[in-house]
């Protein structure tokens, strides 16, 4: 047999790819598996890059999902530092950036996403960091500390978590983002403004309703100019302004792509031998009655497991409702369902804008719930959302905490 022929090939050694390899092996003890990753590191836990690695909660060694011996023991070949550049779905073959060819019987696309870049003058300067991976963390970590400064572009969860973590590490942080308050896509306005006040009280300089217009080199660091006329000198500039799903290979191979790689309930593309999972998959959600693409840890993990089982002969629909989590200066959030601030929201606080639950409603039904410093309510929230019960004027106080 050709040594580059594998029964299963997984493109992307991230969370979805790694969990898929594990679940394939559980179902198929003998089929050859190749897990290919562009990064130099074994699959690791990405959320720690903005959280525990900065607070001392975990070390770099501790964020690795499985050590090398796990893959060896389970006969999973791992090719790191290897980027796939071509997919020929007709011939079931792949090619990497070094020109090496691989052949598969079943393929999983689990390449995640790449950071959106700032389309402004200086957005491509060397050293401007588009924060996504362990390499970015290590680079930033080496620069961070007292008397250092950072401009963070983006007021979503990644930007906010990183701002909090750098600030805890005594970096002088300025955030620049276009919305009036932090995490606007998820937080109702009063909560977003309250969290923003916490950030200011912790010393983070916030330039809301503003955007950078240029970045240039200055005094060994950077000078960021904003639309409203601010000029900020800083040692670091870090952008967390969203990702674009890695759909290039799928697109070139003629697979359907629409805000991600389109898959059915079994996470299978229109080609029965190619599956997709994680940040790049656009899948149907029975619980929410619509197609979704989710950029969260729990979704990548659960889809990887499900896709792996299906690739190895299973027929398991992906009907799971994943959750997401975040930590901002010790304020903890867990959310499930459609947590979209454009929906009608109802907040039930035990402590105003700190401890309680935000419910997100569409046509009177609870479609999502975010627990703020309230724990262990994810299963109950899932049941509430899946019941599709009309909340209407029902008192939601105390339903989840």
Binding site for ligand FAD (CB under 6 A): 11-17, 36-39, 46-47, 49-50, 83-84, 110-112, 131-132, 158, 246, 278-279, 295-298, 300, 324-326
DSSP percent split of the chain into helix, strand, coil, nearest 5: 25, 35, 45
What is the spatial distance between Cα 122 and Cα 137, in angstroms, rounded to a whole number?
Answer: 21
Alpha helices in 220-290 (DSSP H): 248-252
Nearer to ligand FAD among residue 17 and residue 154 (C-beta) = 17
Q: Closest approach of Cβ 246 to ligand FAD, in Å?
A: 5
Nearer to ligand FAD among residue 11 and residue 144 (C-beta) = 11
Q: Closest approach of Cβ 154 to ligand FAD, in Å?
A: 11
Nearer to ligand FAD among residue 250 and residue 366 (C-beta) = 250
What is the spatial distance between Cα 401 and Cα 377, in angstroms, rounded to a whole number?
Answer: 8
Q: Closest approach of Cβ 396 to ligand FAD, in Å?
A: 24
Backbone angles phi, psi at 260, to 5 degrees: 110, 175
Q: Closest approach of Cβ 302 to ligand FAD, in Å?
A: 11
Q: Provide the b/e sequence for 315-341 (b: ≥16 CB within 10 Å).
A: eeebebbbbbbbbbbebebbbbbbbeb
What is the spatial distance between Cα 206 and Cα 196, in angstroms, rounded to a whole number?
Answer: 8
What is the spatial distance between Cα 152 and Cα 236, in angstroms, rounded to a whole number?
Answer: 8
Nearer to ligand FAD among residue 131 and residue 181 (C-beta) = 131
What is the spatial distance between Cα 239 and Cα 242, in angstroms, rounded to a whole number?
Answer: 9
For residue 321, give both structure tokens.
Answer: 């409702």
Q: Closest approach of Cβ 66 to ligand FAD, in Å?
A: 14
Nearer to ligand FAD among residue 275 and residue 297 (C-beta) = 297
Q: Closest approach of Cβ 112 to ligand FAD, in Å?
A: 2
Nearest partner of 369 among 305, 295, 287, 286, judged by Cα? 287
Burial of 203: CB neighbours in 10 Å, binned 0-12, 13-18, 19+: exposed
Q: Closest approach of Cβ 71 to ligand FAD, in Å?
A: 15
Nearer to ligand FAD among residue 37 and residue 122 (C-beta) = 37
Whether the CA torsion 143, 144, 150, 152 is positive or negative: it is positive
The Cα angle at residue 130 between residues 61 and 278, in degrees rounded to 5? 65
Q: Closest approach of Cβ 263 to ligand FAD, in Å?
A: 13
Nearer to ligand FAD among residue 93 and residue 214 (C-beta) = 93
Which residue's C-beta sits nearest to ligand FAD? Answer: 14
Nearer to ligand FAD among residue 96 and residue 226 (C-beta) = 96
């Amino acid at each position: 047999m050709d040594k580059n022929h594998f029964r299963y090939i997984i493109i992307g050694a991230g969370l979805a790819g790694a969990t898929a390899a594990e679940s394939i092996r559980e179902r198929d003890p003998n089929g050859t598996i190749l897990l290919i990753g562009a990064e130099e590191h074994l699959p690791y836990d990405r959320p720690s890059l903005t959280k525990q690695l900065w607070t001392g909660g975990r070390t770099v060694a501790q964020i690795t999902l499985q050590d090398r011996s796990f893959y060896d023991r389970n006969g999973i070949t791992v090719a790191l530092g290897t980027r796939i550049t071509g997919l020929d779905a007709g011939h079931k073959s792949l090619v990497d950036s070094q020109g090496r060819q691989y052949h598969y019987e079943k393929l999983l696309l689990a390449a995640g996403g790449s950071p959106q870049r700032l389309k402004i003058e200086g957005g491509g300067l060397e050293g401007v960091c588009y924060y996504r991976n362990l390499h970015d963390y290590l680079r930033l970590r080496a620069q961070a500390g007292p008397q250092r400064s950072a401009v963070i572009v983006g007021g979503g969860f990644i930007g906010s978590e990183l701002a909090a973590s750098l600030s805890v590490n005594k970096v002088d942080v300025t955030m620049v983002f276009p919305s009036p308050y932090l995490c606007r896509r998820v937080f109702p306005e009063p909560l977003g403004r309250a969290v923003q006040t916490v950030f200011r009280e912790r010393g983070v300089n916030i330039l809301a309703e503003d955007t950078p217009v240029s970045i240039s080199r200055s005094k060994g660091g950077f000078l960021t100019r904003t639309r409203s006329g601010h000029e900020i000198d800083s040692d670091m500039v870090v952008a967390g302004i969203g990702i674009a799903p890695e759909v290039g290979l799928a697109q070139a191979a003629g697979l359907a792509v629409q805000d991600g790689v389109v898959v059915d309930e079994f996470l299978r593309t229109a080609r029965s031998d190619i599956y997709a999972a994680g940040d790049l998959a656009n899948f149907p959600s029975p619980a929410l009655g619509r197609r979704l693409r989710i950029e969260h840890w729990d979704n990548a993990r659960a889809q990887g497991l499900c896709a792996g089982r299906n690739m190895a002969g299973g027929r398991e629909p992906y009907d799971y409702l994943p959750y997401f989590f975040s930590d901002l200066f010790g304020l903890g959030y867990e959310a499930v369902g459609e947590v979209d601030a454009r929906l009608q929201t109802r907040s039930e606080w035990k402590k105003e804008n700190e401890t309680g639950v935000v419910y997100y409603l569409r046509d009177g039904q609870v479609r999502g719930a975010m627990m703020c410093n309230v724990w262990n309510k994810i299963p109950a929230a899932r049941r509430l959302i899946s019941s599709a019960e009309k909340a209407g004027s029902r008192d939601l106080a105390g339903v989840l905490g």
